[in-house]
Amino acid sequence: MPEYRAPLEDFTFLLQDWLSVDKHYHQLDLQGFDGELAQEVVSAGAKFAQDVVAPLNQPGDEIGCSLQEGKVKTPPGFAQAYQEYVANGWNAMLGPEEYDGQGLPYTMAVPVHEMLNSANLSWRLTTMLTESAVLAVNRHASEWLKETYLPKLVSGEWTGTMNLTEPQAGTDLALLSTKAIPKDDGSYAITGSKIFITGGDHDWTSNIVHMVLARLPDAPAGVKGISLFLVPKYLLDAHGQPGPHNAVSVGSIEHKMGIKASPTCVMNFDDATGWLIGEENQGLSCMFTMMNDARFQVGIQGLGAAQASFQGALDYAQERLQSRAPQGPAKPDAKADPIVYQPDVARMLLTQQSLTEGCRALSLLYAKHMDIAHFGSDKDKHQSQQVVEFLTPVCKAFFTDMGLETTSLGIQVFGGHGYIREWGMEQLMRDVRITQLYEGTNGIQATDLIGRKLVRDQGEKLNTTFAVFSDLVTAIEDPTAQASAQTVLQNWHRTSLACLDMPSAELAGAAYDYLAYTAYSLLSVCWSSMADVAARSDNKALSTSKHQCAHFFNTRILPRAEAHLTAMKCDLPTPQAYTANE
């Protein structure tokens, strides 16, 4: 399996040169935070990802998880790596400082998260959901629940899960049937079964804190009658330590296509004791705090897999000798040339690179606005939150679609060897496939983007996002590149505004193509901006690479946007067209 190497040079360029994090942190009055600290955090994260987590990836896939006497056992080394992760404070990066978190900016944490996903997606999943659980508890829980559970969740001493899905209730949570019965002591008895629960049980920590959606008696029908509950695996004793086992059990663990080292559990709650988070019947809005964070994090999973695949494919293409390059011998003294000199292989590698590095730029721009939404003034917070909300479905869906495309290309570069397990490329493709499904399928993300984020507020989030990308265009110094980027951005904005008047059925039919059109357009602006900034860099190799990638993206990848734009205007067949004759 290719040895993972973190893309530190690209992170340095994006943070220091493209985003200018020194200025960014100064504007947010983040005392003690600067580009030098960001570089230290990212470099340390790279070392942990490369040296500790990555070596567990392929063995973990081979061994997988097992259920032994009702308890989940994860592959050898996984729990030890987690203990090292917690001991070094990585779990606390984004945690609130009042609960012993570090309160780091997202622009420091997101690169670390990407590297962990590249190194070992299965391992990263449990820590990801714990961070999301921290957000939900911190924002919506009572002070008692916060004081009792947040310090252990923030530190990583305990982990958290998200329990939404039931056999009959996936995307449509109105069908959810898990029950919550009030008890005299203020707690609730939770009864029901949940499926597809990541990290529902494991051997990493002394307790697991489940976030569970359930219905109270006489609750309104549909999603308006859902409440959120905190249900620990072990109830706490008088000293706040894990005591008696709660009525929570693992029914089974799923046997999956990929992420085999991540325990995906069927969870059974049999009058389990839980506590209400937030108000009664407001559980979905509370859970969305967790889900929206998780959706962006899932997008980063797609990006992480893409980087690992590109890296492996490039190394292989530079070493694999096969035939002569059509433009003339590249290595005259060798029996054949490396396949990297074959134009079609170069096409695949540049497709991987331009998509991966473009999505990385967009992820860090997203992180910048997460920083502002968290640390900025009230006005700036509101505007950046609008940008984050608009871009969340784009990042989740496009990054994961791109992850599958790039991992497939990675296999193709390897040829027959890519199909063989020992090379590790097929695992990346198997692992990343789930990212298009969980936390809301990518079709749901597209519907969310065009129906809620675009139309519901009559383009307010759109216009705020347009202004952010317009600032990138304005800063481009090369007149030709600026004019080209301006045309792409204006066309996207004009198309988006036209969607506001589309009938709802047409809007839903255009959703997937609109999201893809949006992503390609915004990535094109990012690439034009990056290439312009890189042109002034002292790192000539990086400058050349960014220029070549920007040119490739805008000439070979961006035309896909026009195809999606054309498809948006085409009527979909009615469902009856696919119905068998009766």
Please spell the DSSP secondary structure of 359-397, one letter per residue: HHHHHHHHHHHHHHHHHS-HHHHHHHHHHHHHHHHHHHH
Q: Kindly report each contact of residues 43-48 with a partner whose C-beta sits within 8 Å and lies 24 or more positions away, as own/partner.
A: 43/8, 44/88, 45/6, 45/90, 45/111, 45/112, 45/115, 45/116, 46/6, 46/8, 46/115, 48/84, 48/85, 48/88, 48/90
Worst-scoring range by mean pLDDT, 139-143, 468-472, 577-581?
Answer: 577-581
Q: What tens digit of pLDDT does each residue of 112-151 get?
A: 999 999 999 999 999 999 999 999 999 999 999 999 999 9
With 0-12 CB in 10 A as exposed, 13-18 as middle and 19+ as buried, what is 477? exposed
**pLDDT band at residue 582 using 50, 70 and 90 as cut-offs:** very low
Q: What pLDDT, on a 0 to 100 scale, did the predictor assign at position 575?
A: 64
Core vs surface per residue 330-351: b (16+ CB within 10 A) or e: eeeeeeebbbbbbeebeebbbb
Q: Are 53 and 83 in contact (CB under 8 A)?
A: no
What's the chain's average pLDDT? 96
- Check residue 580 and give its pLDDT: 54
What whole-number percentage of the chain has pLDDT above 90?
92
Mean pLDDT (whole number) for 401-410: 98
Confidence class for position 369, pLDDT limits 50, 70, 90: very high
d(CA 47, CA 6): 8
What is the residue type of 45? G
Three-state DSSP state, 41: helix
Q: Measuring CA to CA, which residue among 113, 139, 111 is closest to residue 40? A: 111
pLDDT band of residue 172 (cuts 50, 70, 90) is confident
pLDDT above 70 as % of the chain: 98
Q: Find tokens 């959703």 and name the residue.
A: 511
Q: Is the dihedral of CA 498, 502, 504, 505 positive or negative?
A: negative
Q: Is the pLDDT of residue 35 over 50?
A: yes
The residues, ordered by sequence, that sit 6+ positions from 150 with a Cβ below 8 Å of its Cβ are 95, 96, 99, 134, 137, 138
- Contacts of 526 by beta carbon, 8 Å cutoff, 6+ apart: 358, 361, 362, 365, 472
If we measure between CA atoms, which residue out of 524, 529, 523, 512 comes closest to residue 565? 512
Catalytically active residues, by annotation: 439
**What's the pLDDT at 581?**
52
More confident site: 233 or 579: 233
Pairing assessment for the beta strands 208-215 and 248-253 based on DSSP bridges: unpaired
577 has pLDDT over 60: no
Domains and CATH numbers, the chain: 8-140 (1.10.540.10), 158-282 (2.40.110.20), 441-572 (no CATH)
Mean pLDDT of the 465-484 span = 98
110 pLDDT above the threshold of 60: yes
Which helix or strand (DSSP H or E) is residue 164 part of? none
Residue 295 has pLDDT above 70, yes or no: yes
pTM of the full predicted structure? 0.97
Other beta carbons within 10 Å of 64: 18
d(CA 321, CA 294): 42
Q: Could you tell me the pLDDT band of residue 190, with boundaries at 50, 70 and 90?
A: very high
Report pLDDT for 380: 96
Distance, in Å, from the CA atom of 530 to the CA atom of 189, rounded to the nearest integer, reads 54
Q: What is the pLDDT of residue 17?
A: 98
Q: What is the mean pLDDT of residues 53-63?
A: 98
Mapped onto helix, strand or coil, the DSSP state of residue 239 is: coil
What are the tens digits of pLDDT across the range 15-24? 999 999 999 9
Residue 76 has pLDDT above 80, yes or no: yes
pLDDT value at residue 574:
65
* pLDDT at position 254 over 70: yes
For residue 438, give the DSSP letter: T
What would the mean pLDDT of 233-254 be, rounded to a whole number? Answer: 97
What is the band of 272 on the pLDDT scale with cuts at 50, 70, 90? very high
Calculate mean pLDDT across residues 384-411: 98
**CA–CA separation, 419 vs 41, rounded Å?**
36
Q: Of 200, 148, 192, 138, which Cα lies nearest the Cα of 167?
A: 192
If you compute the radius of gyration of the chain from its CA atoms, what whole number of angstroms results? Answer: 24
Distance CA 7, CA 479 (A): 30
pLDDT for residue 405:
98
Looking at the predicted structure, is the pLDDT value of residue 64 above 50?
yes
Q: Among positive and negative, which fits the CA dihedral 374, 380, 385, 387?
A: negative
